[in-house]
Structure 1
Amino acid sequence: MPFVFSRVFRPTLLDVFGVTNLELGAAYSVYGVVAVAAYLFGGPLADRYPARTMLTVALTSTAVGGLVMMAIPSPSTLAILYGYWGVTTIALFWAPLIRATREWGLNFSQGRAFGLLEGGRGALAAVTASIMVGLFAALLPEDSETASLAQRTESLRWIVLLLSALTCGAALLIQLALPERKTPTQVTASISDVARVFAMPSVWLQAAVILCAYVGFKAIDDFSLYANQVIGLNQVEAARAGVASLWIRPFAAIGAGYLAERLGAPLMITSSFVLLAAGSSVLASGAIGAGMVWTFVLTIVFTSIGVFALRGLYFAIMQDGKIPMAHTGSAVGLLSVIGYAPDIFMGPLVGYLLDQWPGTAGHNYVFSVATLFAMLGLIASYIFARRAQPQTGL
């Protein structure tokens, strides 16, 4: 709800909501600021309460926010809504999801478990996005460029309603399908235990890996606008370009998870940063211009493989970093506060770059930032892999 929607329909969203890239980025920033506190607060909750209960409440309350989105709120109300989603999707959702996945992966493989998690989420996002684009196109005139603002607004409202319904459906499925973990008597870590986790160098290296990978993930929000403003595709075609990236997600994440069983997750993460750096640098170079559709598509395919392979694996290396299972929630809180800091600064930064340098230059600067962080992530992942050498066979 907070991210895939705007990633696919960013050009239309800017028109319908009457906001600039910077104002939309500010809403993302509010989400990120709230998320910082939510990560720390939600981590210990995940070690204390059943995942099924927390995930159900999180999904239901997130869906309720869709009712506000359907009203096409003002920029200030939109920022408040994103702050609300920061609570529902982070404090109540994120750490329980990661802990449940890590426990499940003990039965076979951490890499495969997290790869399947990210791949499953990605498959649902891709299918949903494809349906959204199809519905959006069907609700507009045959020539989408002639659609009025009112027609685009009404079409977008139907998309938000669909997302809200799917999110409520996910909450119901969680209640029916997810086993309830029996919480042990000792459910909270002592301050000294948490402090020991926070003092582990591997935790901080993993946090750096997540941060650099997440900058790349945030940068792909620009794919559809890049397609529209640089390549010259119309708004429906640009939305399809954004969806094409989402279809890479399940294959990249699941494939990386299975390869991690053989090669080790740290090595796969290092390799994924190489792909991300290469793809981002091409988009940053200005080598892709108007009409170069297939070159653009191939570039976003390779960039997306790097991004989504990283997302499928960067929590799978907790085992390599020797983080105790009992303190998974607390560790996820710290990892997420640092790793997802781009939620605070990437939205305004991208908005500023795109508004300050309209057209090709702004997009080049966005992917220059992604390239820089990909290189830093490559360094951090290499150091982590070297430290984890006895466990990965490197």
Structure 2
Amino acid sequence: MLKGKNAVILLILSVIAGLVYLTPFLRFSFYDQMKEALQLTDIQIGAIGAVYGTFNVASYAPGGFLAEKFDTKKLLLVSCAGMFLCTVWYSFYPGYAALLIIHALYGVFSVGTFWSAYLKTVRGLASEREQGKVFGISEGLRGLGQTAVAFLCLGVLGLFATNELGFKAVLWVNAVSFAVMFLAVLFFIPRSQKDRASGQEEGKQGAKKENLILKSLKSPSIWNCIFIIMCGYALWNTVNGYLGTYCTRVLHIPENISSTLSIIRSYIIVFVAGVTGGILMDKFPSKGHGMMAAFACTLLSVLGVLVTGNVLMLCVAMTVVLSYMVNAIKSTYWSILGDAGIPPEDTGMATGIISLIGLTPDIFVSPVISRFITWGETNGSVERGFLLMWAWMGAWALLGIAFSWILKQRRKKLGIQ
């Protein structure tokens, strides 16, 4: 499907997309080690996640403008450099207040200067009929890069006697990875071919963009995409953020084994779900049909984890199945834009607006789930807190089914073939 230069561009973009979300989300794989090394509470880790999520969301709309105005190569270089410097600072364990600032900056560099530019470029690498495949392949490559770095981090962590030293080394592995990707962008990504408009033309473009923003905010297509993506992202964020510590605290699996399972669920499964999910999604009559099936399977997987809780190996297997489903949704939900009736030329602005609202789970998932867990602990059973988490996930899956049905009906109404 992709050859030569386009394949290289997709590979580099996908690996960076993996890294910019691996580092801020190290708690996904190393929750308990991070908690010990930095001497943090569950509530503080939740607050760090909320700060990161808030700046993520605040950066989506500006990111849409940046993707339209600036060369993709420059934005990628800024992102890699910014993530490198923040991670080096992080490695010195500068204290809780500084960690909040670092994660705020992570939000700017992983979204504001990267996200919409990434989506716009990837969408432009393939035809509308192949959107599921190209986004699925990108998600798969992203997962491969994350897996390689995450397992390297796990190996490095095991070389040290304490989590304090080991987690510091993990941060340096991430920093070096950003430096390598900076060089890859510098030498292998070409400059974007952009029209050099005159000042008068730029003024017209600015007025056009203002009209496009207002039009987008009133568009049922945009809101349909927002709600589907919000449901999928809330599920993904919950699964990746808290299944690891669930295995440690409820299933009583040792930390190192739990981290290994978290890496498998969070990164290896990303590759498998990305490639197979994209192929399967394109085989459904519409993206609405495919998303309905994916959310329904996610709901069944949540129920599966609940009913197998007393059978360790079966329960662990069900967490892997659940991870596959939420990653299959996440790897393909950007492919719904065409079925919703959003034209390719509006992608940059549309993704900025959709992301601004649809990815708000970055703000509220961590604080909500951390409070569920803390409530369970203070009432004598952490398992009770996790039961609330499973109910939360079931609700999001049901909403996802409903909004996917609306997408199916909208495609039919618009007469999209």
TM-score between both structures, scaled by the size of structure 2: 0.86
With over 3 angstroms needed to count, the CA separation of the structure-2 counterparts of 1:328 and 1:196, relative to structure 1, is same
Secondary structure of 1:357 counterpart: helix
CA shift digits 1:104-159 (9 cap, x unpaired): 1238611111111111111111222122212222334xxxxxxxxxx211111111
Cα 1:172–1:391 change in 2 (3 A) is farther
Deviation at 1:282, TM superposition (A): 3.5
How far does residue 309 in structure 1 lie from its aligned partner after superposition?
0.8
8 Å contact from structure 1 (residues 208, 380) kept in 2: yes
Question: 1: distance between equivalents of 2:102 and 2:71?
Answer: 27
What is the CA distance between 1:177 and its match in structure 2? Answer: 2.7
Find 2:194's aligned residue among 178, 183, 203: 183
Aligned length: 380
Q: Does structure 1 residue 262 correspond to structure 2 residue 283?
A: yes
Q: How far is the alpha carbon of 1:68 from its aligned partner?
A: 1.9
Question: Match for residue 8 of structure 1?
Answer: 29
Shift of 1:286: 6.5
Whether the aligned pair in 2 keeps the contact of 1:223 and 1:241 (CA below 8 Å) is no
Which residue does 1:171 correspond to in 2? 182
Measure how far apart 1:268 and its partner are.
2.0
Kept in 1: contact 2:128–2:338 (CA 8 A): no
The gaps in structure 2 that reach 5 residues or longer are: 1-21
User: SS in structure 1 opposite 2:159?
Assistant: helix
d(CA) in 1 for partners of 2:313, 2:307: 15
Contact residue 229 and residue 333 of structure 2 kept, 8 A: yes
TM superposition shift of 1:287 = 4.5
Per the alignment, do residues 107 and 50 of structure 1 end up closer, same or farther by CA in structure 2, a change over 3 Å counting? Answer: farther
CA distance in 2, matches of 1:262, 1:106: 16
**Alpha carbons 1:219, 1:367 under 8 Å: kept:** no
Question: How many angstroms apart in 2 are the aligned matches of 1:306 and 1:127?
Answer: 21
Tell me the residue number matched to 2:51.
Answer: 30
RMSD of aligned C-alpha atoms?
A: 1.9
Alignment-derived partner of residue 375 in structure 1 = 398
User: Would you say the 8 A contact 1:265–1:313 is kept in 2?
Assistant: no
Mapped pair 1:363 → 2:383: no
Partner residue of 2:236 out of 201, 204, 217: 217
Greater relative contact order (CA < 8 Å, ≥ 6 in sequence): 1
For 1:357 and 1:286, the matched residues in 2 are separated by 19
Matches within 5 A, 1:1-394: 1-106=22-127, 109-140=130-161, 151-184=162-195, 185=197, 188=206, 189-220=208-239, 221-245=241-265, 246-263=267-284, 264-283=286-305, 285=306, 287-289=308-310, 292-358=311-377, 359-389=382-412
In structure 1, stretches of 5+ residues that fail to align are: 141-150
Distance 1:271 1:171, change over 3 A: farther
CA separation in 2, counterparts of 1:84 and 1:73?
15
Matched-pair contact (CA < 8 Å) for 1:8–1:242:
yes
1 CA distance for matches of 2:361 and 2:71?
A: 29
User: Taking structure 1 as reference, are residues 345 and 361 closer, same or farther at Cα in structure 2, changes over 3 Å only?
Assistant: same
| CA distance in structure 1 between the aligned counterparts of 2:410 and 2:128, rounded to whole angstroms | 25
* Other-structure match for 1:147: none
* C-alpha separation in 2, matches of 1:293 and 1:267: 34
Residue 392 of structure 1 and its aligned partner are, at CA, apart by 7.0
Distance 1:10 1:286, change over 3 A: farther
Query: What is the rounded CA distance, in whole Å, between the counterparts of 1:372 and 1:201 in structure 2?
Result: 23
- TM-superposition CA deviations, 1:349-388 (whole Å, max 9, x none): 1111111112211122122211111110111011102211
Q: What is the rounded CA distance, in whole Å, between the counterparts of 2:179 and 2:290 in structure 1?
A: 35
After superposing the two structures, state which structure 1 stretch, 164-173 or 335-344, moved more. Answer: 164-173
1:36 Cα offset (Å): 2.4
Q: Deviations over 1:324-350 (max 9, x none)?
A: 323212111111111111111111111
Q: Quick one: which amino acid aligns to residue 302 of structure 2?
A: S
List structure 1 segments (4+ residues) > 4 angstroms apart after TM superposition.
390-393
Q: Secondary structure of the residue that 1:18 maps to in structure 2? A: coil
| TM-score, structure 1 as length reference | 0.91
CA contact under 8 A between 1:2 and 1:82: conserved in structure 2?
A: no
Measure the CA separation in 1 of the matches of 2:28 and 2:226: 25
Determine the C-alpha separation between the residues in 2 that align with 1:46 and 1:32: 20
SS at match of 1:388: helix
Report the Cα distance in structure 2 between the residues aligned to 1:293 and 1:177, rounded to whole angstroms. 47
